Structure 1
Amino acid sequence: MTLNDPSVPAWPAHPAPLSTLEDRVLARLAVRDDRAFEVLVRRHAPAVHRLAASMVGPGAADDVVQDVFISVHRGLRRFRGDALFSTWLHRITLNACRQALKARRFIPLDEAPESPASHDPVRAGEQAQLRAQLAAALQSLPPDQREAVTLREVAGLEYADIARVTGAELGTVKSRIHRGRAALRAWLTRAGFTP
């Protein structure tokens, strides 16, 4: 069944452009309209990529993003809208990252390709070194702390949203983030960086 299939009734046109619609509306439309799904992907892919890169490394992030949006597309019919779309998406992203780590399909962070250098090679080198140290520091955390810290610091989720995504109690989330931040601070200090 395709969008041009005459047996499928036409989806009513929206007066507003798709890009102005809320995620929950787009998610309902995306079940039958690939254009709505494309808007969701364009809107959320950068945040999914940042989260994936911080969890599995930049070398595997593209594969994780692809897996995430395949899962989202397959699961749109089951998305009821009880939670925010972004919360549901973060849960899928977290699961895809866990699968990638479990399958060991990722490039180790210390072997990840560096980003292109900017016009200042010294600054670019310092930034690449700091990124590598931060990635190594994150990887040193226990998985539950790494997830909580990444969801807070990289994805920018509120504590309550992290609790919903991870299925942990709010107090547990706060504790994981506090312990994770303290461990990161200690790790970076030992590595010679002032956090």
Structure 2
Amino acid sequence: MNDLTDTQLIALAARQDAAFEVLVRRHAPRVHALASHMVGAGSADDVVQEVFLSVHRHLRSFRGDAQFTTWLHRVALNACYGLLRRRQPDALSDVPEPSSPLDPVGTSETLQLRERLAWALAQLPHDQREAVTLRELSGLEYAAIAEITGVEVGTVKSRIARGRSALRDLLSARGVTVGST
């Protein structure tokens, strides 16, 4: 079954659990990465579970107007925003400031960089965070992001450019050297 396309698996998933399991194994890592950057690593597993439960419930209603991955990313974003709304009105205020680079106990350089990036992403307006995350972390094309978010391609490009610029400023202010993109 691993050789089947998403379209073929979707057709089989209504009758065969194994087909749905292949879809989950194939797409869960990307959904988890998206969720980690949108709601934090601690909540990402819950979001992934919610996403695939929802996908399983609604797979029969998937019409195929868009690619499965586009639909899946929209479901994932909706689950992330739902979790953020349930947390509290200003959920992003809970994202901790990165620890000091001079912390003697400290963690690895990579972990510190990830922590700072997560913090900086959380500071972006949700439309910029969404666009940057879909492009840079999920690797989606501009047209797919436009379809997921319901805006024009030019708007997606603008949000990504503004988000990248803001990330560069936020990270630079915290001592992270950021090259131009």
The two structures share one fold, judged by TM-score above 0.5: yes
Once residues 48 and 128 of structure 1 are traced to their aligned partners in structure 2, the CA distance between those partners, rounded to angstroms, is 21
Q: Which of 36, 39, 54 is the equivalent residue of 2:37? A: 54
Q: Which of 84, 103, 107 is the equivalent residue of 1:101? A: 84
Q: CA deviation at 1:110?
A: 3.0
CA contact (8 A) 1:110 1:132 kept: no
Once residues 109 and 27 of structure 1 are traced to their aligned partners in structure 2, the CA distance between those partners, rounded to angstroms, is 37
Q: CA deviation at 1:126?
A: 1.4
- How do 1:66-145 residues align onto structure 2 when only pairs under 5 Å count? 66-104=49-87, 108-110=94-96, 125-145=108-128
For the aligned residues, what is the CA RMSD?
A: 1.8
Q: How many corresponding residue pairs?
A: 168
TM-score of the superposed pair, with normalisation by structure 1:
0.82
Once residues 166 and 141 of structure 1 are traced to their aligned partners in structure 2, the CA distance between those partners, rounded to angstroms, is 16
Once residues 16 and 36 of structure 2 are traced to their aligned partners in structure 1, the CA distance between those partners, rounded to angstroms, is 29
Q: CA deviation at 1:109?
A: 4.0
Q: Which residue of 1 aligns with 2:9?
A: 26
The one-letter code of the counterpart of 1:101 is: L
Q: Which of 142, 147, 153 is the equivalent residue of 1:159? A: 142
CA contact (8 A) 1:55 1:97 kept: yes
Once residues 56 and 7 of structure 2 are traced to their aligned partners in structure 1, the CA distance between those partners, rounded to angstroms, is 14
TM-score of the superposed pair, with normalisation by structure 2:
0.88
Q: Which residue of 2 aligns with 1:41?
A: 24
CA contact (8 A) 1:109 1:132 kept: no
Once residues 15 and 71 of structure 2 are traced to their aligned partners in structure 1, the CA distance between those partners, rounded to angstroms, is 19
Q: Which residue of 2 aligns with 1:13?
A: none
CA contact (8 A) 1:28 1:76 kept: no
CA contact (8 A) 1:58 1:109 kept: no
Task: Name the SS for the 1:110 alignment partner.
Answer: coil
In structure 2, the CA distance between the partners of 1:166 and 1:91, relative to structure 1 (3 Å rule), is same
The one-letter code of the counterpart of 2:49 is: Q
| CA distances 1:98-144 after superposition (whole Å, capped 9, x unpaired) | 10111118894439xxxxxxxxx98x521111111100100000000
Once residues 63 and 43 of structure 1 are traced to their aligned partners in structure 2, the CA distance between those partners, rounded to angstroms, is 18
Q: CA deviation at 1:24?
A: 1.1
The one-letter code of the counterpart of 1:110 is: P
Residue segments in structure 2 that go unaligned for 5+ positions in a row: 98-104
Residue segments in structure 1 that go unaligned for 5+ positions in a row: 1-17, 112-120
Once residues 172 and 95 of structure 2 are traced to their aligned partners in structure 1, the CA distance between those partners, rounded to angstroms, is 19
Q: CA deviation at 1:81?
A: 1.2
| CA distances 1:148-195 after superposition (whole Å, capped 9, x unpaired) | 000000100000000001111111100000000000001111111111
